Homo-oligomer: A and B are copies of this chain.
Amino acid sequence: MKQKKNVTFNDIAKYTNFSKTTISRYFNNPDSLTLENQEIIAKALVDLDYKENKVARILASGNTEFIGIIIPNLFLHYYAEMLNQILATYESFGYKFLVFVGNGQEETERRYIEELLAYKIEGLIILSHTIPSKELSELRIPIVTIEREDKYVCSVNTDNYMGGYQATSLLASHNCDVIFHINYINSPANPDVPAYGRVQGFLDFCEEHHLKHELILKQMGNTYESIKNYLSDILEDITKRYSGLKKGLFISNDTQANVLVNLLVRKYGKFPDDFLLVGFDNSPISQEAVIPISTVGQQIDKLAYEAVKLLVEQMNERKKRRPAPLTEPVHKVVTPILLRRETTEM
């Protein structure tokens, strides 16, 4: 089964005439050895070409330093960048990540969680939306979710309410005659999802300032073509009904905002004066669009860092002699950043 077996503490012990324990201590508590002996062992490690085996260490110590991640997909830049930033926290916290892509299959994701538990992960980060937080909370393992329903578990989210409020405020500051919010929400529109805050922020600002507004909640399908068709219809309708008026659009993500920009530019040869547009996420597409799009930027790096930090805190708490687990889920919030680009500042 195995090829030439690896060098172990035993081999080093024999080679140096120390015991296994001393070798172990060299790694975990070097100060307890004399400098002289440390050097002897250090030399032996080189001579024998020792490679550490963390699997054995895990079994003996119980600490895997593994964190599990379940992410819906990597097609959307938002998730890809989030994963990127989560993985980057290795440099800060030292935890390794076992990653599964869920693709929205509830049963599949349960299997993934089973598999992760079998590998004795110390904590779990969930970005997918399929499994209710109630069920997650029963796993009896530290969990943090990011931007999803989070009633029964700890979470880190963007301040979506503020994002919606700011975006609407930006449109209002340019004296729009009517302001729209177009949002594709998981069906049915679910106030438990943090992203729903954008809707509330929009509504509150409009009502507080007595602005003429419309909320368009619509499920647009997942393909680029179907999104394009829906938005094309909406655009036609709005153009007809509010001809001659200045229209402000706040739309729920940059991909959709880009579709709107393309539709408008292809129709008019430029971005029309009577439209203003704000997207959400600050995806690359918002910068790379033919007309750079104003957008509410999520601070993905901060969201990721705070998520891992919150998780690690729980994991550390568990390792104490008298653990004091959280009695209530902690929900952290990260402020979004409004980016003004050409679709509002022409």
Copies in the complex: 2
**Contact: B285 with A285, CB < 8 Å?**
yes
A sample of 25 inter-chain contacts (CB < 8 A) reads: A1-B61, A1-B319, A2-B62, A3-B323, A51-B117, A53-B118, A54-B118, A55-B59, A55-B119, A55-B120, A73-B84, A74-B84, A75-B84, A80-B80, A87-B100, A87-B101, A88-B103, A96-B98, A97-B98, A99-B99, A224-B287, A255-B288, A262-B289, A262-B290, A265-B265
A25 within 8 A of B: no
Residues of A within 8 A of B (CB): 1-3, 51-56, 58-59, 61-62, 64, 73-75, 77, 80-81, 83-84, 87-88, 90, 96-101, 103, 115, 117-120, 224, 255, 258-259, 261-262, 265-266, 269-270, 284-285, 287-290, 318-319, 323
CB distance from A148 to the nearest CB of B (A): 19
Residues of B within 8 Å of A101, CB to CB, are 84, 87-88
CA distance A87 to B284 in the complex (A): 24
**Contact: A265 with B288, CB < 8 Å?**
no
Residues of B within 8 Å of A98, CB to CB, are 96-98
Chain A binding site: helix, strand, loop or mixed by DSSP? helix
**Contact: A55 with B58, CB < 8 Å?**
yes
Contact of A74 among B81, B265, B266 (CB under 8 A): B81
**Contact: B53 with A120, CB < 8 Å?**
yes
**Contact: A90 with B100, CB < 8 Å?**
yes
CB distance from A262 to the nearest CB of B (A): 5
CB distance from A62 to the nearest CB of B (A): 5
Residues of B within 8 Å of A1, CB to CB, are 61-62, 319
**Contact: A290 with B266, CB < 8 Å?**
yes
**Contact: B287 with A265, CB < 8 Å?**
no
CA distance A51 to B121 in the complex (A): 13
Residues of B within 8 Å of A90, CB to CB, are 100
CA distance A281 to B135 in the complex (A): 40
CA distance A75 to B61 in the complex (A): 36
Q: Which 9 A-B pairs have the closest CB atoms?
A: A269-B269, A80-B80, A74-B84, A290-B290, A54-B118, A74-B80, A262-B290, A52-B118, A2-B62
**Contact: B81 with A75, CB < 8 Å?**
yes
Residues of B within 8 Å of A224, CB to CB, are 284, 287-288
CA distance A289 to B289 in the complex (A): 7
| Residue with the greatest number of chain B CB neighbours at <10 A, chosen from A115, A261, A266, A288 | A288
Residues of B within 8 Å of A53, CB to CB, are 118, 120
Residues of B within 8 Å of A59, CB to CB, are 55-56, 59
CB distance from A285 to the nearest CB of B (A): 6
